Structure 1
Amino acid sequence: MHDYVNWFRHSTPYINTHRDCTFVVLLPGEALEHANFNNIIHDIMLLNSLGVRLVLVHGSRPQIEERLNARGVASRYHNDLRVTDLDTLGCVMDAVGSLRIAIEARLCTAPSGQRSRLRVVSGNFVTAKPIGVLDGVDFHHTGEVRRIDRKAISQHLDQQSIVLLSSIGYSPTGEVFNLACEDVATSAAAALDADKLILLGPQTGIFDSEGRLQRELKPSRAGTLLQQLGNSLPGSLLRAACKACEAGVRRSHIVSFADDGAVLTELFTRDGGGTMVSQEAFEQIRPAGIDDVAGLLELLRPLEEAGILVRRSRELLETEITQFTLIERDGMIIGCAALYPLEDSSAGELACVAIDPDYRHGQRGDQLLQHIEQQARELGLNTLFVLTTRTAHWFRERGFEPSSVERLPAKRASLYNFQRNSKVFEKAL
């Protein structure tokens, strides 16, 4: 009894700290099959009763494999990604639907003495896009997260509901895509500006090659461990934790789904019980200088090679460097955008918007856009133009309207590259 009272007293600061915080919890398919899952459900209910805003993301890999085997459908992978053809998609939908219903049923079972049930909400909160064809392999209905409906999820969390997300996403055209549950979890945590991402795995946490539990990690120091873990479930969880922290989530926690009370131990004790991955050094948005040219070239080169951005030589960048705004993280340039006031007009052109692929889930593009718009207003500009070939949807979703070459100021219109055939958009400031 004394130990219990002592623990309860020492947990009080954590109870107060976590109240009204948003936690995203990843439950891989392996966790759902484990005998300890009932205890995990009880711990989730307890967190909800303590005022924690919860988003649950569940996986389904072993359940999908089970259905594929039962139907005699062979699993196909490329680069460790499942190829989801129509036959496989049927198994994915069957597995995910069954698991979602089972989890909702568990969460709706009121503990003894509790009169009201939890509200669990699921729906089409995840917009997805196809991976497409890689190395000549068509991934069909395997996709990746395009957008998380932050507003809708937040509204349900405000009503004390638990939001349940599956490893399924939908396109605006009504297609269904099979997603990696880690992608859904990290994207949701970043979009919701979550306080924590909690990842349940088969082990207590992350262990090094000598079997020592790593209680705290920084993403920059996880490289060797990621190589050792490969594509195992612990490796996938560590990659997700690092990605989430790099996207702006302050702390990610990897704990065991097999140990009773592992989540509570990690959250409500000083030393925790698993592995915590925390953010790196701080980042800032700042004007570019001549010393940044080399870093800019490195950031822009892959996008130029893919034809997304127009090629810029070192000489041109040196000449135009004062037009650029950068996101710098721990001395590394991870994002940029340029503003070019257009002669003989009150308009400007937004150009060269780029974010390092490893940092694209932290709304940094939005931060850059807001910064550039404010800069344009301070210069007295009232219209912002952008020319793009591959990212029209991103600008449309941020208030840019379709325009035309004829709408561009005369001097800029005379420089339009008809061979590139960029689409023109504009936004009133």
Structure 2
Amino acid sequence: MANSSANPSAKSNTNANYVEFFRHCSPYINGHRGKTLVLLLDGDALTDGKFNNIANDLALLNSLGLRLVIVHGGRPQIESQLAQRGIKSQLHRHLRITDGPTLECVKEVIGGLRTDIEARLSMGLPNSPMHGAKLRVCSGNFIAAKPLGVVDGVDYCHTGEVRRVDSSSINHLLDQGSMVLLSNLGYSPTGEVFNLAIEDVAAQVAIALKADKLICFGEDNGIVHDSGQQHSELLTKAAERLLQQYLDGLTDSQQPHSQLARQLTAVTTACHGGVDRGHLISYHQDGALLLELFTRDGTGTMVLQESYEQVRQAGIDDVGGILELIRPLEERGVLVRRSRELLETEIDRFVLVERDNSIIGCAALYPYQDGSAELACVAVSDDYRGGNRGDRMLSQIEQQARAQGIERLFVLTTRTAHWFQERGFVEADLSTLPKGKQALYNLQRNSKVFEKNLG
């Protein structure tokens, strides 16, 4: 049997891949440190050992300085317990009617699940990812609830909704390095216990904590186009349109059981409440949480808060705004001059940063037949320098380039070499340019060539 010492080249390749991967993750590790994440785990994510891998990943995130709030439910476990006791499950408007016997069942199931979660987060076996982690998990009566009351003549009994989140107490525990564990049970000042929709709890907790992310573990790995391609990113308005289309395609009996619809509602609600981003990932995929947080493309669907500033594809109506943006840079010799006629024919190559209906940034992608593409006409208004607008446009350009099968980006620049170097571009020789581009090279400008591999 061969081993690594017998094959040093294989070991060297493995080490090189590990080093490259770790370096790639470093910016994400730094960026996430100190951030608050609310993680929604429905009862399905806690079955069949799925939570073991998630628990290991939570331990890793905790050690990296992320502030974690876990919100868990137990729908399938509750349904099973009700069936065993011969109690018929009752729903109205897609919510469970929680009478006295049902509430006792809910309390028993949620109490057991909480204990199981705490036990798994306490594991510290040698040779396991959680060895020596010593995690602190805290839970309590952090969710104040109120009854839903009577709707359409139907008494919801002990089914309630979130009234208030004790964010100061939760933040105090997070500041001490503890993970906070919450469930779908809420409590009233009169000592009553209410059964809450777990998605509502997660959304309201994320809003109250001003969390950076709400991450939902579900059956599906995000949202898929009709064509079968995954939506990697959606603005909240687009997500809401898709949600409505999805619900329109379900029967009344299917809607209460649609986990994707409930979770998409939760992330859009959270985004409207001030949470920057919501994520939909699958508990079936081992390491989905790490991939979503620490890789460029992630693994599920990310929903972003609507913004008065956005990166979007350019259209013919944007020609005037782009010309106004780039003229000062052309006059200073930073950019090559473009006529209106040329810009009109090439407008579909441009992406923009738009703020309050004004174009404040642009960049263009020009593919070549050799599998490379030029990044050109990168510009940000002088009034909006110092933000991450150039990075956002570059990210959009790289995403488009990869979708087109482009393996290498190159750029010609006279003034901004350092900016591109800081983003992974390396200086290259003129001979590396496609032949067509070499023929158009302007010797008088003496631009430097930088390239970046997209593999």
Shorter-chain TM range is: 0.5 to 0.7
Residue 144 of structure 2 aligns to a residue whose secondary structure is strand
Match of 2:339 in 1: none
- Cα distance in 1 for residues equivalent to 2:220 and 2:294: 19
1:253 aligns with 2:270: no
Shift of 1:223: 3.1
Shift of 1:28: 0.7
- Cα distance in 2 for residues equivalent to 1:142 and 1:210: 39
Shift of 1:207: 1.4
Match of 1:23 in 2: 37
Contact 1:110 1:118 in 2 (8 A): no
CA displacement, residues 28-70 of structure 1 (integer Å, 9 cap, x when unaligned): 1110114332111100111001100000000110010010000
- Cα distance in 1 for residues equivalent to 2:95 and 2:263: 15
Please list, as runs of the form range in 1=range in 2, the aligned pairs for 1:264-303 lying within 5 A after superposition: 264-282=290-308
1:88 aligns with 2:102: yes
Match of 2:207 in 1: 190
Please list, as runs of the form range in 1=range in 2, the aligned pairs for 1:155-194 lying within 5 A after superposition: 155-194=172-211
Structure 2 CA distance for partners of 1:247 and 1:20, relative to 1, 3 Å: same
- Cα distance in 2 for residues equivalent to 1:24 and 1:99: 18
Shift of 1:167: 0.5
Percent of aligned pairs sharing the same letter? 55
Aligned residues: 285
Residue 202 of structure 2 aligns to a residue whose secondary structure is helix
TM-score w.r.t. structure 1 length?
0.65
What are the ranges of 5 or more consecutive residues in structure 2 without an aligned counterpart?
A: 1-13, 248-254, 310-355, 358-455
Contact 2:97 2:156 in 1 (8 A): yes
CA displacement, residues 354-396 of structure 1 (integer Å, 9 cap, x when unaligned): xxxxxxxxxxxxxxxxxxxxxxxxxxxxxxxxxxxxxxxxxxx
Aligned letter for 2:202? A
Please list, as runs of the form range in 1=range in 2, the aligned pairs for 1:13-412 lying within 5 A after superposition: 13-112=27-126, 114-115=131-132, 117-230=134-247, 231=255, 232-282=258-308
CA displacement, residues 227-286 of structure 1 (integer Å, 9 cap, x when unaligned): 343331111111111110000000111111000011100000011111000010249xxx
Aligned letter for 2:94? D
Contact 2:42 2:72 in 1 (8 A): yes
- Cα distance in 2 for residues equivalent to 1:243 and 1:116: 34
Structure 2 CA distance for partners of 1:229 and 1:37, relative to 1, 3 Å: farther
- Cα distance in 1 for residues equivalent to 2:268 and 2:132: 40
Structure 2 CA distance for partners of 1:198 and 1:186, relative to 1, 3 Å: same
Shift of 1:162: 0.4
Residue 302 of structure 2 aligns to a residue whose secondary structure is strand
Shift of 1:209: 2.9
Structure 2 CA distance for partners of 1:229 and 1:59, relative to 1, 3 Å: farther
Residue 303 of structure 2 aligns to a residue whose secondary structure is strand
- Cα distance in 1 for residues equivalent to 2:290 and 2:305: 22
Structure 2 CA distance for partners of 1:39 and 1:183, relative to 1, 3 Å: same
Shift of 1:203: 1.3
Aligned letter for 2:274? G
Aligned letter for 2:237? S
TM-score w.r.t. structure 2 length?
0.61
Larger radius of gyration, structure 1 or 2?
A: 2
The Cα RMSD (Å) is 1.6
Shift of 1:110: 1.9
What are the ranges of 5 or more consecutive residues in structure 1 without an aligned counterpart?
A: 284-329, 332-429
Match of 2:419 in 1: none
Structure 2 CA distance for partners of 1:255 and 1:19, relative to 1, 3 Å: same
Of 10, 15, 19 in structure 2, the residue corresponding to residue 5 of structure 1 is: 19
- Cα distance in 2 for residues equivalent to 1:19 and 1:112: 26
Shift of 1:6: 1.5
Shift of 1:116: 5.1
- Cα distance in 1 for residues equivalent to 2:276 and 2:20: 29
Residue 57 of structure 1 aligns to a residue whose secondary structure is strand
- Cα distance in 1 for residues equivalent to 2:157 and 2:137: 31
